[in-house]
Amino acid sequence: MLKKILITGGAGFIGSHVVRLFLKKYPNYFIHNLDALTYAGNLENLSDVESLPNYQFVKGDITDEQFVNDLFAQESYDAVIHLAAESHVDRSIKDPLAFVRTNVLGTGVLLNAARRFWKGSAGKLFYHVSTDEVYGSLGENGLFTEETPYDPRSPYSASKAASDHLVMAYHHTYDLPVVISNCSNNYGSYHFPEKLIPLMINNIIHNRSLPVYGQGENIRDWLWVEDHARAIDVIFHTGKVGETYNVGGFNEWRNIDLVHLLCRIMDLKLGKPEGTSAKLISFVTDRAGHDLRYAIDATKLQKELGWAPSLQFEEGLEKTVQWYLDHPDWVRHVTSGEYLSYYQEQYERR
Ligand code: NAD
Ligand code: DAU
C-alpha cells in the first residue's frame, strides 16, 4: 500500500535511524523528513539513503504555523511520526524556553495541522515519539509502566510531558488518531557527542577528562537505537490508536559502571594498557535536579506487539565505539561551531 509519511526530526539521532529503516523496509512509502537542522540535526546522518527515490528532505521549523499548514495543504500525508525536539536535559536547564517552544508549541502546531487537514479522513495516524523521563525519577525499586503517573522534573521532561498531554487531548477532544511511545535512553551510531556515551568515547579518543556528574550513582536503562527504530515500526503498524507503549532495554546501568565498561572497551580498541582510560574519570558538580533512576517495563510492547530488544548491551557498546572510531569526520563536523562554546561553558567551569 502506498503511504506518504511525514517524519519530523529525521536528521537527528533517532530520527535518522527511523527514516533509514522505513526507506529501506517500505520502498512503497514516501518519506518526507521535516527538520530545522538545529545544532543536533545533520543531513550527513542520512547520506547513505538520501538518493533513494522515496525520500525527500524538507527544511523547516515545526513552530512555524504558516509553514506547517502550507506543507499539510500541499501534501496529503497519511501519517506523522513526530520526533523533532530539543532533546538534551542539560541544555533545558540553561534555556528552558527553547524546549517549551519546540517541544510544546511545535507539537501543538503539528497536531493542529493534522486535525485541520485530516478532518473526516480514515486511516490517518499521528505518532508521538516520547521519553520515559515524563514519569519522573524512581527509587531503588520498581519500573515505569504505562500506568505510572506523569511526574516530570526537568524543563526537558516537563516539555515532553506537556506534548504527550496535548497529543492525548487532541485524541479525546477531536478524535485525532494518535499513538505515543515512551522510551528509555538510546545509544548507537549518529548519537550527538553531548550525550553521555558518545561524549565519553570522544573524550577518551582526545585524552580529555571524563566528567561524571555527582558520584555516578544515577541509573539509566539503555537501548540500542536500532531496536528503538524497530519498536517504532511495530507500534506504527500494529499499535492501538489512543494507546501508549513503553520501550526499554531491560538494561539498567549505574553511570559510573557504564563509564568503566566504556573505558575497558576503549583501552582494548586503542591498544592501551587496561586502566589507562579510567584514569581520565573526573567527578564533577552534579546536574541540577538530577533524576536518580529510570527503568522501563516494556512488557506491554513485548506481549501485545511481539517486540523485543535484539542486541546485548556489551555487543552494542562495542559496535558503537567502533562506529565512532570509524567516523572521525562526522564527529569533527558535528562538534565544531556552536558545540565548542557549549562544551566550554558546560564542562570547563565544573
Ligand atoms: P536529537 O536532538 O538528536 O534530534 C532532534 C532533531 O529535531 C534534530 O534533527 C533537530 O534538527 C530537529 N529539530 C529540533 N528542533 C526543531 C524544530 N523546531 N523544527 C524542526 N526540527 C527540529 O534527538 P533524538 O535523541 O534523536 O530524539 C528524538 C526524539 O526522541 C525526541 O522527541 C526525544 O524527546 C525522543 N527520545 C529520545 C531518547 C534518547 O535517548 N535520545 C529517548 C527517548 C525519547
Ligand atoms: O531517558 C530518555 C532520555 O535519555 C531522553 O529522553 C533524552 O532525550 C536523552 O538525552 C537521555 O537523557 P539523559 O539525561 O538520561 O541522557 P544523558 O546522556 O544526558 O545523561 C545520561 C546520564 O549520564 C545522566 O544520569 C547524566 C549523566 N551524565 C551526562 C553527561 C552528559 C554525566 O554523568 N556526565 C555527562 O557529561
- Whether 97 is in a domain gets the answer yes
- Whether 284 is in a domain gets the answer no
Question: Region 234-242: what's the mean pLDDT?
Answer: 98
Question: Region 149-155: what's the mean pLDDT?
Answer: 98
- Whether 322 is in a domain gets the answer no
Q: How far is CA 14 from CA 7, 139, 173, in A?
A: 11, 28, 30
Atom of ligand 1 nearest to the CA of 187: 40
Q: Which is it for strands 219-224 and 252-254: parallel, antiparallel or unpaired?
A: antiparallel
- Whether 217 is in a domain gets the answer no
Please give the pLDDT value at position 264: 98
- Whether 285 is in a domain gets the answer no
Question: Region 148-156: what's the mean pLDDT?
Answer: 98
Provide the domain count of the chain.
Answer: 1
Burial of 101 (0-12, 13-18, 19+ CB in 10 A): middle
- Whether 31 is in a domain gets the answer yes
Q: Quote the cell numbers at residue 171.
A: 485524541
Query: Is pLDDT at 63 greater than 80 in this prediction?
Result: yes
Please give the pLDDT value at position 120: 80
- d(CA 129, ligand 1 centre) in Å: 9
Query: Is pLDDT at 109 greater than 80 in this prediction?
Result: yes
**Residue 2 — pLDDT band, cuts 50, 70, 90?**
confident
Query: Is pLDDT at 141 greater than 90 in this prediction?
Result: yes
Instruction: Give the C-alpha separation, 10 to 43, whole Å.
Output: 9
Q: What is the mean pLDDT of the chain?
A: 97
13 lines ligand 1 (CB under 6 A): yes
CA pseudo-torsion sign 174, 112, 225, 198: negative
Q: How many helices (H) and strands (E) does the chain have?
A: 13, 12
- Whether 99 is in a domain gets the answer yes
Q: How far is CA 26 from CA 11, 76, 151, 221, 241, in A?
A: 19, 18, 37, 30, 21
- d(CA 304, ligand 1 centre) in Å: 27
Provide the residue range defining the domain that includes 74: 3-191+222-252+290-312+339-349
Q: Quote the cell numbers at residue 38.
A: 538545529
Instruction: Give the C-alpha separation, 323 to 329, whole Å.
Output: 11
CA pseudo-torsion sign 319, 321, 324, 325: negative
Among protein residues, the one whose CA lies closest to atom 17 of ligand 1: 61
Starting at the edge strand found earlier in the chain, the sheet holding 79-82 runs 55-59, 29-35, 3-8, 79-82, 125-131, 178-183, 244-247
Query: Is pLDDT at 32 greater than 80 in this prediction?
Result: yes
Please give the pLDDT value at position 267: 98
- Whether 91 is in a domain gets the answer yes
What's 60's domain CATH number? 3.40.50.720
